[in-house]
Structure 1
């Protein structure tokens, strides 16, 4: 398959589906990274002075509860998408997380913050699996990996947008110490996007056909003679091959999710720490610039990934990704002590730990599972990992408290990337193959 003709056969409808899924993921990326960059200022605003020394623990808890909501909501939303359709679930997901994100701007204490972050996570979790399933099931086989890579780049563009907005707010300080609230006010904008989704997104034809034909097998196969449909979540664990694929991809997703939320999310704070140690000024801008460079690296990875993964294969891509995550994390936190050098490494860090480490989930799992369970499988792999990984930001905060060292906490947790060095070889290679029906 030559990459020169990957656009052949793509229609306006294909691009509308990609755009709708892409924009939904942009808003998710904005929402996730907005929380990370404002946490130091949010804590100062909401916590009593006596509790500020325990800031890392509170920061870990608010990130963790967002992850927990994201995981539960994504799991439920993925299952619903296999029963009621991809489009309907996406509409409600975008509207509700925009609503709860906007309300976050008006919290007055930490309990209100935690409650709204849980609700935002519950709503936000459903969007990804529906978008990935829509693109996978509507785009031609030769263009599917590139389209999925573009879709996943939405998260990078969203984090980049959040980093850029926060960089401007950190300089202008329109609401002084309360400027962090504006980040969540902007997070309510996606509610308007629902109007676009309603007009321009069609339901997946492959999903409709699979349901009508009663193709219930989790990894493909002939139509079933049974009228009663098996519960999609049980299907992933009832069939031997589906179970094997689910466990392996879930563990790889867990490595990615834990690494990003409990390690890479510390990078702006670590940059600020090194800058402060070196006697630099304007510390907020150091953190904001770190976030900006990190997300730039991720966006580059997203845009290139579809071409690279088709060129070298899924398993080699995964191996190279997790090796890169491990090396760049150890260099960033274990070797570098100069904030300028760390900034130079930050785009490379983003390329691997956010870009490559997440983009494979938009490309590979849809190729491993059949249409009637595809959204459920994608949610178990992508969002289910958050139900476990949510504790790791809390653990990271506890380690920082215990050791008094952010770098030790990051290096300790980053060993989870070792899973990615051997697990990919246990999966089937699906490069250039049609989706299982």
Structure 2
């Protein structure tokens, strides 16, 4: 039977054997993910002025609820688009889906700047999320299938850092815009224009990228098994009929694939719920803290903390590939959610001054945004084969949003009910307990390579 793994001997240095082609593939995925990161945080930092601009006076009295609703709708579009785009990438190729994703994202993100009512805003946020969804899974699949095994986890971590650099860019640009107010109360509209225009440049850069040879070869040889554990049974079926099974169906009909899909999706839900329903409220919580302590320019503290928080996440992204190769996938995941739980409790329960917030925010970002998302770019690729890989990782990454999109809405309602962000965040943080336990029911893949 064919060896389904491609493990390679260790190199003296992690970057030995990397060619300009490897770096070109990484650069293309990295730049696209920068704009996704920009888009995600842009929505958070402009949330309040944006809603004040499009809500009626009656709607504005329930602002936390509408804030949760617009975030939730964006997540829903992101989840649907990511799932559909990930499946299509296993049929038409990673490169083609990446190009379409960036183009449509830029278009709808730019149109968001012209929203004049809450309904129009939500419609455009849904379409933006729909277009943006497949950006991540196609980029991760392409990097994981083209980079050599000894450097793959590091490359995936670097790719994931694009999201961090994008959120940092959004925080810095919003800080500059909020300080100058070039359009007054409508300055928030410029954030979506700024985020959309450079994305067209990525289309030009990605024209020179090559398609994944591993994916092309797997399709040519009609290797339809979803995991290496199911290879013998699937090979027998393939010998009887050449028709390709529907990739998404495979994840639910092959026993081991189903188990891995469900467990990793639960971990993804924990990461997604934690960030969108807990950490995304950090700027607003900081502003209220600044006002309570009488700090000058209280509104600016929201942007400052966003920058510091994101810097912590970027450190985690860049280091994740090295850490996960050192300690193993399962230990890394469990450590991630232990850190997320503890730092969330410290942030919302025991942080009462801006000085303390400056210290805890980057640590919180390291775990809740950095490590909590970095594992998705590394681990799921090692659990599924080339012909279903994009479908699998997009399902893990995006299907969570089809469930977790309601939690920002619930969180917004909880804030209104319990009278504060800290109480809602502490209740929602209990989800991290699941993330600590679940990894130990999954296989350890360190040093084993990716199944083909």
Q: For 1:3 and 1:75, locate their aligned partners in 2 and report how far apart those are by CA, in whole Å.
A: 36
1:172 equivalenced with 2:187 (yes/no):
no
Give, in angstroms, the shift of residue 343 of structure 1.
2.1
1:121 equivalenced with 2:136 (yes/no):
no
SS of residue paired to 1:228: coil
Q: For 2:282 and 2:370, locate their aligned partners in 1 and report how far apart those are by CA, in whole Å.
A: 15
Aligned to 1:358: 373
SS of residue paired to 1:422: helix
Aligned to 1:192: 201
Please, what TM-score do these two structures have when normalized by structure 2?
A: 0.95
SS of residue paired to 1:371: coil
Give, in angstroms, the shift of residue 362 of structure 1.
0.2
Unmatched 5+ residue regions in structure 1? none
Aligned to 2:339: 324
Give, in angstroms, the shift of residue 336 of structure 1.
1.3
Please, what TM-score do these two structures have when normalized by structure 1?
A: 0.98
Q: Deviations over 1:340-395 (max 9, x none)?
A: 21122100010000000000000000000000000000011000100000000000
Q: Deviations over 1:159-197 (max 9, x none)?
A: 000001001111111111111111000121202321111
Q: For 2:110 and 2:355, locate their aligned partners in 1 and report how far apart those are by CA, in whole Å.
A: 35
Aligned to 1:312: 327
Aligned to 1:283: 298
1:29 equivalenced with 2:59 (yes/no):
no
Q: For 1:4 and 1:94, locate their aligned partners in 2 and report how far apart those are by CA, in whole Å.
A: 37
Unmatched 5+ residue regions in structure 2? 1-8
Q: Tell me whether 396-405 or 338-347 shows the greater mean CA deviation.
A: 338-347
Q: For 1:243 and 1:35, locate their aligned partners in 2 and report how far apart those are by CA, in whole Å.
A: 34
Q: Deviations over 1:5-58 (max 9, x none)?
A: 111111111100000011111110000100000001111111122322211001
Mapping of residues 222-261 of structure 1, within 5 Å: 223=235, 224-225=238-239, 226-261=241-276
Q: For 1:257 and 1:312, locate their aligned partners in 2 and report how far apart those are by CA, in whole Å.
A: 24
Give, in angstroms, the shift of residue 3 of structure 1.
6.8
1:398 equivalenced with 2:406 (yes/no):
no
Q: For 2:186 and 2:309, locate their aligned partners in 1 and report how far apart those are by CA, in whole Å.
A: 25
Q: For 1:237 and 1:269, locate their aligned partners in 2 and report how far apart those are by CA, in whole Å.
A: 40
Aligned to 1:104: 112
Q: For 1:142 and 1:280, locate their aligned partners in 2 and report how far apart those are by CA, in whole Å.
A: 49
Q: Tell me whether 13-22 or 189-198 shows the greater mean CA deviation.
A: 189-198
Give, in angstroms, the shift of residue 211 of structure 1.
0.3
Aligned to 1:292: 307
1:340 equivalenced with 2:355 (yes/no):
yes
Aligned to 2:3: none
Q: Deviations over 1:114-136 (max 9, x none)?
A: 00000000000011010000001
Q: Is the 8 A contact 1:141 1:433 kept in 2?
A: no
Match of 1:367 among 382, 407, 423: 382
Match of 1:152 among 137, 160, 163: 160
Give, in angstroms, the shift of residue 258 of structure 1.
0.3
1:434 equivalenced with 2:443 (yes/no):
no
Q: For 1:102 and 1:303, locate their aligned partners in 2 and report how far apart those are by CA, in whole Å.
A: 30
Q: For 1:256 and 1:4, locate their aligned partners in 2 and report how far apart those are by CA, in whole Å.
A: 34
Q: For 2:31 and 2:11, locate their aligned partners in 1 and report how far apart those are by CA, in whole Å.
A: 25
Q: For 2:196 and 2:339, locate their aligned partners in 1 and report how far apart those are by CA, in whole Å.
A: 35
Q: Tell me whether 70-79 or 212-221 shows the greater mean CA deviation.
A: 212-221
Aligned to 1:59: 67
Q: For 2:85 and 2:129, locate their aligned partners in 1 and report how far apart those are by CA, in whole Å.
A: 12
